[in-house]
């Protein structure tokens, strides 16, 4: 049903197109690549992580996924090869990192994708959503074998293959709460060569569809064959019959909507011709600076050379108005001088009688202790 292999140095594997491929990266194998603990006899349990990428590229092929839950668990490469990659060897670089000593070890995994055993893929495909499993748990050979055995009992096909396994997180699912019984869920797609059984068709009943729309569990007769180990969400099951699907491929006819073939791309020459930027300098800097200078000179002439002055203003003002203005200024100056020269005491009614803190009677202030320039124009009170 699936291909399982242990990790080895520069190993060749031969998966089939359209069939689930699983490759385990075991930590025990890479422990021999790193120096042991300083104390003899001590068991090594270094945290080891893996990095996988296509040779010459930073990431893996689109059909290949990788998962490692913790640095103390094994890594798993899994995916379903496509028909387009048949006959093309894919070299995956596997780099192991020892998080204690910071040592690294690199191996190559050569994936030779072979064509499927049959001329056409399995036409009947069903995708199950298992709620109580994580993807790395489902990838184990024993667990996946038990699930395929349960599917075979309710479907009764002649050929049954695991096509693909996808984590619910890759389908937009949410990360579960950190509780022991909470799992992220996994989608498992299987294919067979016979039509779907009546048990699987029960999901399409109107009663079950109504229960799914009301977020209730549908009634499936064969659910008990899965319930002991796998909790399947029957509302999310997908049944695909490729024999009834009509091909919608149409030959593309060249017309006005398709660009004509322009041939191979010809990049520009590496040698660039020298260019004179003097004219660009004159346009971008010299011309605006000259305009700004002319405007500055015009404004300076208006502000400095065209001033009328006080004499011209007096010549244009009537004489009687100048006399009145001069008389007002003269009288104002005389009143200010008189107010500065008068010596008058503060009125007794404005002087403090009691001390603001102690409450004692305070004698009147002498005339020399306060400013007499700001005295009000009142008669001295005796």
Asked if residue 21 is part of any domain, the answer here is yes
Whether residue 109 sits in one domain with residue 61 = yes
Question: 190, 211, 245 — which closes off a domain?
Answer: 245
| pLDDT confidence band for 51 (50 / 70 / 90) | very high
Q: What mean pLDDT value characterizes the chain?
A: 80
Query: Between 382 and 301, where is the model more confident?
Result: 301
Q: How far apart are CA 354 and CA 348, in angstroms?
A: 13
Whether residue 107 sits in one domain with residue 26 = yes
Mean pLDDT, range 284-288, rounded to an integer:
89
Question: 61, 88, 116 — which closes off a domain?
Answer: 116
What is the predicted pLDDT for the residue at 268? 76
Asked if residue 151 is part of any domain, the answer here is yes
Number of domains in the chain: 2
Whether residue 28 sits in one domain with residue 75 = yes
What is the predicted pLDDT for the residue at 66? 92
Whether residue 134 sits in one domain with residue 239 = yes
What CATH number is associated with residue 80? 2.60.40.10
Query: Between 259 and 65, where is the model more confident?
Result: 65
Asked if residue 236 is part of any domain, the answer here is yes
Asked if residue 32 is part of any domain, the answer here is yes
| pLDDT confidence band for 1 (50 / 70 / 90) | very low
What is the predicted pLDDT for the residue at 67? 92
Digit-coded pLDDT (tens) for 347-363: 555 556 666 666 666 66
Radius of gyration of the chain (CA): 48
Q: How far apart are CA 256 and CA 329, in angstroms?
A: 93
Asked if residue 82 is part of any domain, the answer here is yes
Q: Residue 233: which residues within 8 A CB-CB, separation 6 or more?
A: 129, 130, 131, 185
Q: How far apart are CA 144 and CA 85, in angstroms?
A: 25
Residue found under tokens 């909470």 = 182
Percent of the chain residues topping a pLDDT of 70: 77
Given a contact cutoff of 8 angstroms between Cβ atoms, the answer to whether 154 and 197 are in contact is: yes
Domain containing 67 equals 8-116
Asked if residue 263 is part of any domain, the answer here is no
Whether residue 67 sits in one domain with residue 151 = no
Whether residue 229 sits in one domain with residue 146 = yes
What is the predicted pLDDT for the residue at 41? 57
What is the predicted pLDDT for the residue at 357? 64
Mean pLDDT, range 103-126, rounded to an integer:
81
Digit-coded pLDDT (tens) for 184-214: 889 999 988 888 888 888 888 889 899 988 8
Whether residue 182 sits in one domain with residue 131 = yes
Mean pLDDT, range 165-181, rounded to an integer:
82
Please spell the DSSP secondary structure of 17-77, one letter per residue. TTS-EEEEE-HHHHHTTS---SSTTPPP---EEEEEEETTSSS--TTEEEE-SSTTS-EEE
Whether residue 74 sits in one domain with residue 174 = no
Digit-coded pLDDT (tens) for 241-252: 887 765 555 665
The sheet carrying 64-67 orders its strands as 21-25, 75-79, 64-67
| pLDDT confidence band for 161 (50 / 70 / 90) | confident
| pLDDT confidence band for 382 (50 / 70 / 90) | very low
What is the predicted pLDDT for the residue at 76? 92
| pLDDT confidence band for 299 (50 / 70 / 90) | very high
Whether residue 135 sits in one domain with residue 65 = no
Asked if residue 299 is part of any domain, the answer here is no
| pLDDT confidence band for 304 (50 / 70 / 90) | confident
What CATH number is associated with residue 209? 3.30.70
Asked if residue 193 is part of any domain, the answer here is yes
pLDDT over threshold 90, residue 279: no
Whether residue 124 sits in one domain with residue 234 = yes
Question: 116, 143, 178 — which closes off a domain?
Answer: 116
Whether residue 225 sits in one domain with residue 145 = yes
What is the predicted pLDDT for the residue at 4? 42
What is the predicted pLDDT for the residue at 377? 47
Whether residue 165 sits in one domain with residue 106 = no
Q: Across-strand partners of 53?
A: 93
Q: In this structure, how many other beta carbons lie within 10 angstroms of the beta carbon of residue 226? A: 20
What is the predicted pLDDT for the residue at 140? 86
């Amino acid at each position: 049903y699936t291909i399982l292999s242990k990790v080895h140095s520069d190993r060749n594997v031969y998966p089939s197109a359209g069939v689930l491929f699983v490759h385990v990266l075991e930590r025990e194998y890479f422990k021999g690549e790193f120096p042991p603990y300083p104390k003899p006899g001590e068991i090594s349990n270094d945290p080891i992580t893996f990095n996988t990428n296509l040779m010459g590229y930073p990431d893996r092929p689109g059909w290949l996924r990788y998962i490692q839950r913790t640095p103390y668990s094994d890594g798993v490469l899994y995916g379903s090869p496509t028909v387009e990659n048949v006959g093309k060897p894919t070299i995956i670089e596997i780099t192991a990192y020892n998080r204690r000593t910071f040592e690294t070890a690199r191996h190559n995994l050569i994936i030779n994708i072979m064509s499927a055993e049959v001329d056409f893929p399995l036409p009947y495909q069903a995708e199950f959503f298992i709620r109580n499993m994580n993807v790395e748990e489902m990838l184990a050979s024993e667990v996946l074998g038990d699930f395929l055995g349960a599917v075979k009992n309710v479907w009764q096909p002649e050929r049954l293959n695991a096509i693909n396994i996808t984590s619910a997180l890759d389908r937009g699912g949410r990360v579960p709460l950190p509780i022991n019984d909470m799992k992220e869920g996994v989608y498992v797609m299987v294919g067979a060569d016979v039509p779907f059984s009546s048990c699987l068709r029960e999901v399409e009943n109107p009663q079950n569809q109504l229960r799914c729309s009301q977020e209730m569990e549908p009634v499936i007769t064969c659910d008990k064959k899965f319930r002991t180990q796998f909790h399947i969400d029957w509302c999310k099951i997908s049944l695909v019959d490729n024999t009834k699907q009509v091909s919608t491929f149409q030959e593309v006819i060249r017309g006005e909507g398709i660009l004509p073939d322009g041939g191979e791309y010809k990049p520009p020459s590496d040698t660039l011709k020298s260019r004179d930027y003097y004219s660009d300098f004159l346009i971008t800097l010299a011309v605006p600076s000259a305009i700004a200078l002319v405007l500055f000179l015009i404004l300076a002439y208006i502000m400095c050379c065209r001033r009328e002055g006080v004499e011209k203003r007096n010549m244009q003002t009537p004489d009687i108005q100048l006399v009145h203005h001069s008389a007002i200024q003269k009288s104002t100056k005389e009143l200010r001088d008189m107010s500065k020269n008068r010596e008058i005491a503060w009125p007794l009614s404005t002087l403090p009688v009691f001390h603001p803190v102690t409450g004692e009677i305070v004698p009147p202030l002498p005339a020399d202790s306060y400013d007499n320039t700001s005295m009000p124009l009142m008669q001295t009170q005796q």
